[in-house]
Amino acid sequence: MIRFEHVSKRYDGGHEALANVSLEIRHGELLVLAGHSGAGKSTLIKLIAGLEKPTAGKVWVSGQDVGSLRQNQLPYLRRSLGLVMQEHRLLTDRTVYDNVMLPLLVTGYPPRDAAKRVRVALEKVGMGTFEKAMPLTLSGGEQHRVAIARAIVNRPSVLIADEPTAHLDPAYAREIAALFRSFHAAGVTILLATHDDTLFSPYGARRIELAKGRLLA
Amino acid sequence: MSFLPHGMAFRQALHRLAGKPLSTLLSALVVAIALTLPALSYVLIDNLASLANGVTGKPEISVFLKKEVTAEKAQAMENRLRADKRIVAIRFIGRDTALKQLAARGGFADVTGALSENPLPDAFILEPGGEDPKVFEAIRTSLTAMPEVLHVQLDSAWVERLHAAVELGRWVALLLAALLGTALIIVTFNTIRLQILTQRHEITVSLLLGATRAFVRRPFLYFGLLQGLLGGVLAWGMVQGLVLLIAPRVQALARAYNIVVDLAGPSVWQGLALLVFAAVLGWLGAGLSVRRHLHDGAVD
């Protein structure tokens, strides 16, 4: 499903974020990518989404070499991925409903069916009654749920989350972890980058660890 | 091809325009003012051209007779001229009549009154057929050769000069249109630049969620088009209003020259052309701005 072949990434300033990383994430797998801040977890996610290009090596997603995709092909790759970024990136001038609707608008989904999908996604993350709320009136955990709803509304085959439980109190963090568990149970491939992997160990997730851009054995 | 994304982008652009009415109105006014000057010039030149075309069909040849030519000789000459197939109309103006006409013109009464004798000659005013300048010239040559003739004046020269002036005016109007059209593009370019800056977060998120560049670009392009169109509508109104405002003054001036002028505003086709021109330039300005500012760095 996702394969890294001897991938290195060095940024313009000379900082090496990833060094000769090779890994494979199989279809339907729940993978926890552990590592401290600055270990290279976010860079790895950006390489999968085509937000960065590898300096060396190849990144394959669903049989496509991401680094060789043209600018006009990248949107279609991103639509197959559900991305939950660490800082939510919700649009604060739009309602919860409109935020979750955005991926469907972007893909030109028929409006009538889109409304149903948005409501289903919000129900799945337990935010069904917050449709008309504005993001800034929600707690951090609720905002995170909305971001997850936005990531799953397109029914992606892969769900990728960067620090999904960061800055959340333990109760909220457990709820979020349980949500990802339920998506995995439904057959979605999941990649979770986190510095605290204890939350996911009860779910039988495979764990790999990054340190200073290198994959630890 | 689905028109759904276009409909959505169009609504989004309308929403953005309606969301900031004052800013929209000010931008549209700037566009309108930039368009009004060349459009008004063009309409005025067009009126002048109509006036020139109205007189082009009747070039006249003035034939001034020598003082010693008697009435009988003048009559005989008129008969000869009437036999000439190249001439369609002949009018005789006796020297006394010519003096009266001169005196009737504003400012000349005192001058003619002070004259001890009438210095004006008898004259024929001929109207040649057709519109071929070579024929006019041939008639002039044959008239000049007649012994009764003092001087022949082909009165089409001023019409040619008028046409040249109209043509020059058209060019000036076109140059103004090019210059101020560029200003319109710059105004739209800057408006869209500011919009991209304020909506950077939304653009980044959309691209992250799989939006194509075309999807992000479209609302800005429609915004430019609509802003141009709105400016065009205002400009059409302004030109029409200005024509109404200056028409009485132009008519008063024309009356002083014994010319009847009915100043017309832009025709429906001219108005529609103005709208298309404004919309296309708005779209172009937006396109250039999006191309310049919506680079890859939008996603980080």
The pLDDT, as a whole number, for residue B19 is 85
B223 and B193, same structural domain?
yes
Task: Give chain B's domain count.
Answer: 2
Query: In CATH, what number is assigned to the domain containing residue B81?
Result: 3.30.70.3040
Q: Phi/psi at A109 (nearest 5 deg)? A: -70, 140
The pLDDT, as a whole number, for residue B264 is 85
Edge-first strand listing for the sheet containing B87-93: B87-93, B123-128, B61-65, B149-154
B179 and B41, same structural domain?
yes
Per-residue confidence at B259, pLDDT binned at 50, 70, 90? confident
The pLDDT, as a whole number, for residue B164 is 81
Q: Check residues B50 and B122 and name the one with the higher pLDDT.
A: B122
- Minimal C-alpha gap between A169 and chain B (Å): 26
Contact (CB, 8 A) for A1 and A61: yes
- From the list B49, B18, B81, B1, the residue with the least C-alpha distance to B168 is B49
The pLDDT, as a whole number, for residue B191 is 87
B219 and B293, same structural domain?
yes
Residue of chain B minimizing CA distance to A47: B300
The pLDDT, as a whole number, for residue A38 is 83
Question: CA distances (Å), A52 to each of A59, B83, B297, in order?
Answer: 11, 94, 11
Per-residue confidence at B300, pLDDT binned at 50, 70, 90? very low
- Convert B50-62 to b/e letters by CB count within 10 Å (16 or more is b): ebbeebeeebbbe
Of B124, B155, B186, which residue constitutes the final position of a domain? B155
Q: Which of A71, A91, A106 has the CB atom closest to B210's CB atom?
A: A106
The pLDDT, as a whole number, for residue B107 is 61
B148 and B238, same structural domain?
no
Of B122, B155, B188, which residue constitutes the final position of a domain? B155
Residue range A3-21: mean pLDDT, rounded? 90
User: Which residues of chain B lie closer than 8 angstroms to A83, CB-CB?
Assistant: 208-209
CA angle B135/B136/B139 to nearest 5° reads: 85
Per the structure, the complete domain to which residue B24 belongs is given by 4-55+160-298
With a CB cutoff of 8 Å and minimum separation 6, the contacts of B79 are none
- From the list B230, B236, B242, B226, the residue with the least C-alpha distance to B268 is B236
Residue range B6-15: mean pLDDT, rounded? 86
Per-residue confidence at B198, pLDDT binned at 50, 70, 90? confident
The pLDDT, as a whole number, for residue B1 is 46
- From the list B230, B236, B242, the residue with the least C-alpha distance to B187 is B230
Rounded-to-integer distance, Cα B217 and Cα B280, Å: 16
Per-residue confidence at B296, pLDDT binned at 50, 70, 90? very low
B208 and B112, same structural domain?
no
Least confident residue range of A112-116, B6-10, B253-257: B253-257
The pLDDT, as a whole number, for residue B187 is 87
Contact (CB, 8 A) for A84 and A151: yes
The pLDDT, as a whole number, for residue B2 is 56
Interface test with B, best of A76, A84, A105, A159 (most B CBs within 10 A): A105
User: Which residues of chain A lie closer than 8 angstroms to B201, CB-CB?
Assistant: 89, 91
Residue of chain B minimizing CA distance to A110: B4
Task: Say whether A51 and B299 touch across the interface (CB within 8 A).
Answer: yes
Mean pLDDT taken over chain B: 85
Q: Check residues B159 and A140 and name the one with the higher pLDDT.
A: A140
B259 and B147, same structural domain?
no
Residues in chain B: 300
Contact (CB, 8 A) for A146 and A135: yes
Question: In this model, does residue B193 exceed pLDDT 50?
Answer: yes
Q: Phi/psi at A187 (nearest 5 deg)? A: 100, 5
B105 and B31, same structural domain?
no
Residue range B201-216: mean pLDDT, rounded? 89
B96 and B240, same structural domain?
no
Q: Which of B4, B204, B210 has the CB atom closest to A78's CB atom?
A: B210
Question: In this model, does residue A168 exceed pLDDT 90?
Answer: no
DSSP type of residue A47: H
The pLDDT, as a whole number, for residue B58 is 63
Of B103, B130, B155, which residue constitutes the final position of a domain? B155
Contact (CB, 8 A) for B184 and B257: no
Q: Phi/psi at A214 (nearest 5 deg)? A: -115, 145
CA distance between the termini of chain A: 21
Question: In this model, does residue B138 exceed pLDDT 80?
Answer: yes
Instruction: State ipTM.
Output: 0.87
The pLDDT, as a whole number, for residue A5 is 93
The pLDDT, as a whole number, for residue B104 is 74
The pLDDT, as a whole number, for residue A87 is 80
Domain A26-53+71-216, CATH homologous superfamily name and number: P-loop containing nucleotide triphosphate hydrolases (3.40.50.300)
Q: What is the per-residue pLDDT across B220-258, written as a single tens digit (0 to 9) for each?
A: 999 999 999 999 999 999 999 999 999 888 888 878 777
B138 and B25, same structural domain?
no
Q: What is the per-residue pLDDT across B64-115, written as a single tens digit (0 to 9) for each?
A: 999 888 889 989 999 999 998 889 899 999 888 888 887 776 566 677 777 7
B189 and B131, same structural domain?
no
Read off the tokens for A213: 């851009």
Angle between helices B200-208 and B213-256 in degrees, nearest 10 = 140
Taking CB atoms and an 8 Å cut-off, how many pairs form between chains A and B? 51
Percentages helix, strand, coil for chain A, rounded to the nearest 5?
40, 25, 35
Read off the tokens for B192: 């869209």
Question: In this model, does residue B275 exceed pLDDT 90?
Answer: yes
B234 and B171, same structural domain?
yes
Percent of chain A exceeding pLDDT 70 equals 100
* Chain A positions touching chain B (beta carbons under 8 Å): 49, 51, 71-72, 75-79, 83, 85, 89, 91, 102-103, 105-108, 110, 150, 154
Question: In this model, does residue A34 exceed pLDDT 50?
Answer: yes
